[in-house]
Structure 1
Amino acid sequence: MTVTAEQPLFHHTGAGLPVPFAVAGTGLHLPPAVVTNQDLTRTLDTSDAWITSRTGIRERRRLAPHLATSDMCVAAAGPALEAAGVAPALLDAVVVATYTGDQPLPSTALIVKDALGAHSALALDVTQAACASGIQAVLIAAHLLQNPSITTVLLVAADCASRVTDPTDRTTGVFFGDAAAAVVLTRADTSGAGLLSYDLGSQLSYGVQIPAGGSRRPATAGTVAAGEHYLRMDGRAVWNAATTRLPESITNAARRAGVPVDGIRYFFLHQANLNILNETTDALGVPRERAPVTVDLLGNTGSAGLFTALHATVTEGALAPGDTYVLSGIGAGFQWGSLCLRHG
């Protein structure tokens, strides 16, 4: 693994962005095909007990072969728009966070925008932070909403990791699931709602990578034969980075927002591994139940993970106006970040 010097953290400090905004609706799409731990033991040298103890994952979803990431995005966007009472034609921007886009070109966000009929919307793809792309996408959406001509943004986080993981690799094969989650963000009348602060950081590492398929190593028969278009992951490097950076980043974001960590109602964390979630909440000194869990039934769904947890909480009616909450994640690179928000 190659690591370079850590880059400085970027953050917003103060009373938050001047234009308040709120989560107006959420949506979720889960492919119907379920893969249990027992199913994986038929092809991988593993066991249900091993997977559960090390990851907390019991099952995950798999997208049908004839479908793509954009199909999941559209399916998740529908209920989010309906919950928000927003017609696609009224969207000002469609932001898609994914590292498993339909194809290199054209834009997956553009494909989603066209399928929805959001013809007036700006289409933006956020890709290279992998599982942390959703954090960057919310930050972009929050700043777009500061523009007086933009009032409504659809953000969809989706990943189809089954297309980029080696089915014979136990390290990656047990972790990942396919899913999409959508959030509609709109300007709000509630003063103080929206983004209070953020904290971003990075440290270049190749501990998680897809080696081939780019300009440095274009696809060839040799790269395909060597499996270099599959995701490769150094599990120990991921554990060390996640359990260090997530608590640090959340603490920094809370401090910059002027909010005590124990005063935060919910922590919507990247659903990478149940043990990482527990380690993070324990390091923060907050009850584990404040970090909603979906990884047990969905696996690591990449950028969608923290939004699956947000969706579950919103649909239960458990996120109340005035609640302060955190979105936090880490992805390949490594890139990480935390957003401290107040629900409007």
Structure 2
Amino acid sequence: MKQISMLDVSSYLPGNPVPVDYYARFAECSDQAGSAMFKAPPHHRHHLAPGETAVDMAERALTGLVSRHGRETIRAVDVIVTHTMLPDTPIHGCGGELAHRVGANPEWIVDLHNAGCVSFVYMLKLARQLLQADGARSALVCGVANMAGQIYVQPQVRKTPQAPIPGDGAGVALLTTSAESPILHVETLHHNEVAGHMRFESGDGRKYWQPGRGEPRYRFGSDTIEEALHNGNRFVPEVVRRACRRIGVDTEEIDVLVTNQPNRTFLRNWREALGLPTKRHPDTFDQCGNVFSVGVPVTLDRAIREETVVSGSLLMLAGFAHTGEVAAAAAVRWRP
């Protein structure tokens, strides 16, 4: 099989950091406030600007790739795979418009709609398969998190315990048919018995597309919180261990573990379960909050710039989605 490399990553965080005080002034008493899911919110997060679209954010995330590899490299991609947390138009994603903006004409444009908080890793697997099976030579993987500045600033939603947790951002990766930074394996686990347990609802009981006054948001009940905590703590170490077995290494040999950044509890539990010290598990939670699947490229981009990731590092990119519906882990040998 052809070797496929994750050649580079780049990310974008919109606007100025929004401090936790913004939400503290609106907060109301709630039994969920002390939950491990929502306690100790991040110090800062970023909100997209009014009128800023998913395509705008993806294009801005590409700036780093363009500066390092040239605009022609981006124009020449054969595959574009995108995931947007909150599509600007329910009918379609942002892949076609992004291709037009960068001047690309790829054979494959896929707007992924599943895998949520681990969709970046899931998209790596999909893009890798397309590059191996087809005559394509390069791919862009683009993730956009854009709910914080649109959903969680609504007058009623911003009072809830989960409102201070999310942030907005975008992250991209450039994949090529080469051995420069090979993707060794991508492991995925599906737990379809919990699919659909996290619901996008409005306060007045209507469907999100129906007229009304209720503010839409992802609603967490005590049962879904418990399910997410239980499954997230279990599934992420499990999928990482499976990926390690597939490439013949122990978890202690992981040089850098890069995960999505849901909350402090998960981050601590994951590295402890895998026997990794804090310095091998970069943490951007206090700088940008939970940016869902974009937490992986944002954190990896920062780790590379801060030289936490060095030549030859074994990277493990991992996370889970929703209340445990999907978990995934990608092993990458960084620029050996």
TM-score between both structures, scaled by the size of structure 2: 0.86
What secondary structure sits across from 1:146 in the alignment?
helix
Aligned-pair CA distance for 1:56: 5.2
Give the fraction of aligned pairs with identical amino acids, expressed as a percent: 21
2:160 maps to which of 170, 176, 198:
170
Once the two structures are superposed, the pairs formed by residues 117-132 of structure 1 within 5 Å of their partners are: 117-132=103-118
User: For residue 11 of structure 1, what is the aligned residue in structure 2?
Assistant: none
- How many angstroms apart in 2 are the aligned matches of 1:55 and 1:123? 39
Once the two structures are superposed, the pairs formed by residues 21-60 of structure 1 within 5 Å of their partners are: 21-45=4-28, 54-55=39-40, 57-60=42-45
Q: Is 2:313 the partner of 1:327?
A: no
2:177 maps to which of 173, 187, 191:
187
User: For residue 204 of structure 1, what is the aligned residue in structure 2?
Assistant: 193
Number of equivalent positions: 319
Once the two structures are superposed, the pairs formed by residues 206-285 of structure 1 within 5 Å of their partners are: 206-211=196-201, 217=207, 219-221=209-211, 224-227=212-215, 229-233=216-220, 234-285=224-275
- How many angstroms apart in 1 are the aligned matches of 2:332 and 2:7? 14
Aligned-pair CA distance for 1:143: 1.1
What secondary structure sits across from 2:90 in the alignment?
coil
Aligned-pair CA distance for 1:34: 2.3
2:124 maps to which of 138, 150, 160:
138
- How many angstroms apart in 2 are the aligned matches of 1:20 and 1:55? 42
Which is worse superposed, 112-121 or 127-136?
112-121
> What is the aligned-residue RMSD (CA, Å)?
2.6
Amino acid at match of 1:251: R
Q: Is 2:322 the partner of 1:337?
A: no
Check the 8 A contact 1:200/1:338 in 2, yes or no. no
User: For residue 97 of structure 1, what is the aligned residue in structure 2?
Assistant: 83
Amino acid at match of 1:62: H
Check the 8 A contact 1:208/1:231 in 2, yes or no. yes
Deviations 1:253-309 (A, max 9, x none): 111221110011111101111221111100111112211111111011011011111
Which is worse superposed, 115-124 or 323-332?
115-124
Cα 1:246–1:189 change in 2 (3 A) is closer
- How many angstroms apart in 2 are the aligned matches of 1:327 and 1:217? 35
User: For residue 67 of structure 1, what is the aligned residue in structure 2?
Assistant: 52
Amino acid at match of 1:31: P
Check the 8 A contact 1:110/1:123 in 2, yes or no. yes
1:158 maps to which of 144, 168, 183:
144
Check the 8 A contact 1:51/1:58 in 2, yes or no. no
Deviations 1:111-140 (A, max 9, x none): 211121112352111122211211210101
Aligned-pair CA distance for 1:60: 0.4
Cα 1:319–1:209 change in 2 (3 A) is same
Amino acid at match of 1:338: A
What secondary structure sits across from 2:62 in the alignment?
helix
- How many angstroms apart in 2 are the aligned matches of 1:226 and 1:318? 45
Amino acid at match of 1:225: R
What secondary structure sits across from 2:166 in the alignment?
coil
Check the 8 A contact 2:20/2:41 in 1, yes or no. no
Check the 8 A contact 1:90/1:120 in 2, yes or no. yes
Q: Is 2:298 the partner of 1:308?
A: yes
What secondary structure sits across from 1:219 in the alignment?
coil
Amino acid at match of 1:230: R
Deviations 1:297-334 (A, max 9, x none): 10110110111111112223443343221111111262
Check the 8 A contact 2:81/2:123 in 1, yes or no. yes
Check the 8 A contact 1:196/1:342 in 2, yes or no. no
Which is worse superposed, 281-290 or 320-329?
320-329
Aligned-pair CA distance for 1:158: 1.1
Once the two structures are superposed, the pairs formed by residues 1-20 of structure 1 within 5 Å of their partners are: 18-20=1-3
Which is worse superposed, 34-43 or 299-308?
34-43
Cα 1:100–1:309 change in 2 (3 A) is same
